[in-house]
Amino acid sequence: MTAPGRCPVAASRRKRLFDIVVSFSALVLFLPLLLTIAALVRLETRGPALFRQRRTGLNGRIFTVFKFRTMTVAEDGEAVRQATVGDARVTAFGAILRKFSLDELPQVLNVLRGEMSLIGPRPHAVAHDETWGRQAPAYNLRFRARPGLTGYAAVCGFRGEVKELQAIIDRVDADNEYIDTWSFALDMKILWRTLPLIFADTRAY
């Protein structure tokens, strides 16, 4: 395994430049959509349009992730319950946002700020990191790379609710395989494989 701080995927200037160009372009291109979604979220239920939650980033640094609020709650404590099929906390408009992963769009700000990458291990809530870090071997090795909007584990089907320990172990193994075999070409393949998931991922709920 590559030592933290020396990992090629985290040190690549080409990858970081790609993140900056694409995230800035997406922010400009989708600004009308972002503003429209924010207004609809505020109109549907009381509360902020953006959901903020602490996540673990590169080398274990904590950052605040931005998402559109899709639930009637905004959990960010010692206990964070994952979304489940038919979750009563999810609003009607929130269900649409989650189905097409539109709730993730504000994370282009995290990418632009350098806290995330377009491609990398998907970040979990800090509460989940603490729990799964004690249970899954090699879990903390996934912090050798910036977390991503999408990632190898996601396109391999290891996304969604974790119902058993093996599910998170499989996800971690995929994350670490991505880090250990990273190339810019692999990132492009993952982006390409992510596109159909926006419209047909049964694990998005």
The rounded percent of the chain whose pLDDT value lies above 90 is 64
pTM of the model: 0.87
Q: Looking at the DSSP assignment, which residues form a beta bridge with residue 117?
A: 148
Type of residue at 105: L
pLDDT band at 162 (very low <50, low <70, confident <90, very high): confident
Q: Is the pLDDT of residue 203 over 90?
A: no
pLDDT band at 45 (very low <50, low <70, confident <90, very high): confident
pLDDT band at 73 (very low <50, low <70, confident <90, very high): low
Token look-up 């939650």 returns 53
Which residues have a Cβ under 8 Å from the Cβ of 73 and sit 6 or more positions away? 89
Type of residue at 20: I
pLDDT band at 93 (very low <50, low <70, confident <90, very high): very high
- Using alpha carbons, list the distances in angstroms from residue 143 to 108, 138, 176: 19, 10, 9
- Give me the count of residues in the chain: 205
Closest CA to 82 of 49, 128, 37, 114: 128
Q: Is the pLDDT of residue 2 over 80?
A: no
Angle between helices 184-194 and 13-29 (to 10 degrees): 30
How many whole angstroms from its chain centre is CA 138? Answer: 19
Average pLDDT for 146-174: 91
- Helical (H) or strand (E) element with 148: strand 148-150
Q: Which two tokens stand for residue 64?
A: 């605040």
Average pLDDT for 113-141: 93
- Using alpha carbons, list the distances in angstroms from residue 58 to 82, 83, 134, 198: 23, 25, 19, 26
Rounded Cα distance, 171 and 116, in Å: 18
Mean pLDDT of the chain: 88
DSSP label at residue 137? T
